Amino acid sequence: MRPNGRHTAGASQLPALRMWAMGLLLLSAVAISPTGAKAAPSQAAAATTHVYLLRGVLNIFSLGLDTIGARLQAQGIPVTVANFVSWSSLADEAATAYKAGRLKTIILVGHSSGATALPDMIAKLNQLGVPVKLAIGLDSVFKTKLSTGAERYINIYIGDGPGEPVRAAAGLRGKLDNVDVRGTGVGHISIDKNEAIQRRVIAEINAAIMRSRAPAVPVAEPGVPRSARSAAAAAPARN
């Protein structure tokens, strides 16, 4: 003990303390984002948005998505929380609403197998001529390649756990960010329930909705000639 009465850490404790401090710093970096300081989106923008949250296997390990969904609903943002096996029917549902003009902004979030299903859901929506504003994956458990794009895709994964980075295929449009949160104390089962991760997800969703008047990644209808695709890309986007 020092003369002032404070204990000093032993040499054997220093590595553990350093790891704890680094983990806390990394988790803070995930939670703190310029988007977090922005206000919630307007009621009109929220009303024409839909967030689809895909749980993983067995529907019992991704209940943090329910919490995220409840917080978004409190902001007036419509949400659907479902098991990942529903991704195809949900894509059909979203495409119908988008083409009818009821939706302008489509956002996808998935955990575990739900995160693994996101590229497939994005690809189907793109094939239907529907853009995806934002997709956020939480610790996808299989190697995933993103061949068609959301305007922005954020993959938050645990590099020394079961999670995998998402790889960009050649010609990918849109921005892909892989965020490794190893060393933060977050686990595969807890990542969707972690308060800092939830705040980051909600902040990114709010920021995407507030950007919804900006042009989305151009998406061509299946079978449209190349010249028509170029003209469509130059026209103002709906999202």
pLDDT at residue 74, rounded to an integer = 96
- In this predicted structure, the answer to whether residue 121 has a pLDDT above a threshold of 90 is yes
Q: How far apart are CA 10 and CA 210, in angstroms?
A: 50
Summarize the confidence of residues 7-13 as an average pLDDT: 43
* 69-106 burial code (b ≥16 CB/10 A, e <16): bebbeeeebbbebbbbebbeebbeebbebbeeeebbbb
**Counting Cβ atoms within 10 Å, is residue 178 exposed (0-12), middle (13-18) or buried (19+)?**
middle
Write out pLDDT tens, residues 94-120: 999 999 999 999 999 999 999 999 999
pLDDT at residue 62, rounded to an integer = 95
- In this predicted structure, the answer to whether residue 129 has a pLDDT above a threshold of 90 is yes
Joined tokens for residue 89: 């029917």
pLDDT at residue 55, rounded to an integer = 97
3-state helix, strand, coil in the chain (%, to 5): 40, 20, 40
User: Contact 200/31 with Cβ under 8 angstroms?
Assistant: yes
Residues forming a β-bridge with 55: 83
Q: How confident is the model at residue 39 (pLDDT cuts 50, 70, 90)?
A: low
Q: Of 213 and 203, which is predicted with more confidence?
A: 203
Summarize the confidence of residues 45-64 as an average pLDDT: 93
For residue 36, the 8-state DSSP code is: G
Q: Of 19 and 97, which is predicted with more confidence?
A: 97
The domain made up of 28-233 is a member of CATH 3.40.50.1820? yes
Q: Tell me, rounded to whole angstroms, the distance of Cα 80 from its chain centroid.
A: 14
pLDDT at residue 9, rounded to an integer = 42
Write out pLDDT tens, residues 189-207: 999 999 999 999 999 999 9
pLDDT at residue 218, rounded to an integer = 46
Structural domain boundaries in the chain: 28-233
| Mean pLDDT taken over the chain | 80
